[in-house]
Amino acid sequence: MPEKTHVTAPQAQHQPMELSWENVSEPGAYVDVGTGELYRIPQEALLQGASPVIRKESVRPARLVQLSRNPFIITFQARMLACEHNVQPNF
């Protein structure tokens, strides 16, 4: 009796949406597309008036991509996701 084979179509990867700091509205792990730096933003950081407040000043505008909704994602996994989004990790 021949074995059944399953053929699956390749999954289409969606291009992640780039965000600025002002547009980050949910917790997660974000990578800066230009620098490859990882930012872990917990829910507490997004509460209005709560500490810690995230501040970063730069001449160039930040372009962030959310790698995961989990701010505490394992670093290795975050690196792999950054590479999948064509971002050279710098963390």
Q: What pLDDT is recorded for position 13? A: 53
Q: What pLDDT is recorded for position 38? A: 97
Q: Which residues contact 44 (CB under 8 A, 6 or more apart)?
A: 50, 52
Low-confidence ranges of the chain (pLDDT < 50): none
Q: What pLDDT is recorded for position 61? A: 85
CA distance 49 to 31: 24
CA distance 20 to 53: 16
Residue-wise pLDDT for 53-69, tens only, equals 677 778 888 899 999 99
Q: What pLDDT is recorded for position 9? A: 53
Listed by start position, the domains of the chain span 18-84
Q: What are phi and psi of 31, to 5 degrees?
A: -120, 140
A 10 A CB-CB count for 91 gives 15
Q: pTM of the predicted model, to two decimals?
A: 0.77
Query: How big is the chain, counted in residues?
Result: 91
